[in-house]
């Protein structure tokens, strides 16, 4: 069975994303977006090659776009570890 883990950074970012979403778009939309992200994490765990390589960020990093965010992750023996969830516009400045 494949699984996903969140790094400390990704865990912090998803909480910030959720709280920001509540403030800007309301609880219902924030819940929906969080559910969509979790679904993406599960898909990536089951299909770790689904995302594109992101070698400029880290040698083993991969990326998957979801709406206005990019999920950065790395494959593990039994799934993936989500390293970061960043706005698409800030990917140029990102370092893991």
Per-residue pLDDT, 94: 56
Domain containing 15 equals 3-93
Q: What angle do CA 90, 14, 61 make, to 5 degrees?
A: 55
Threshold 0.75, pTM exceeds: yes
Instruction: Give how many domains the chain has, as a whole number.
Output: 1
pLDDT tens digits, residue range 47-92? 999 999 999 888 999 999 999 999 999 999 999 999 999 998 876 5
CATH number at residue 28: 3.30.2310.20
């Amino acid at each position: 069975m494949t699984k996903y883990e969140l790094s400390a950074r990704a865990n912090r970012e998803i909480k910030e994303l959720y709280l920001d979403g509540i403030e800007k778009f309301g609880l219902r939309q924030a819940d929906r977006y969080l559910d969509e992200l979790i679904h993406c994490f599960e898909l990536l765990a089951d299909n770790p090659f689904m995302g594109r390589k992101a070698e400029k960020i880290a040698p083993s990093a991969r990326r998957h776009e979801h709406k206005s965010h990019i999920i950065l992750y790395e494959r593990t023996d039994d799934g993936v570890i989500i390293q970061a969830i960043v706005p698409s516009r800030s990917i140029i400045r990102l370092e893991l």
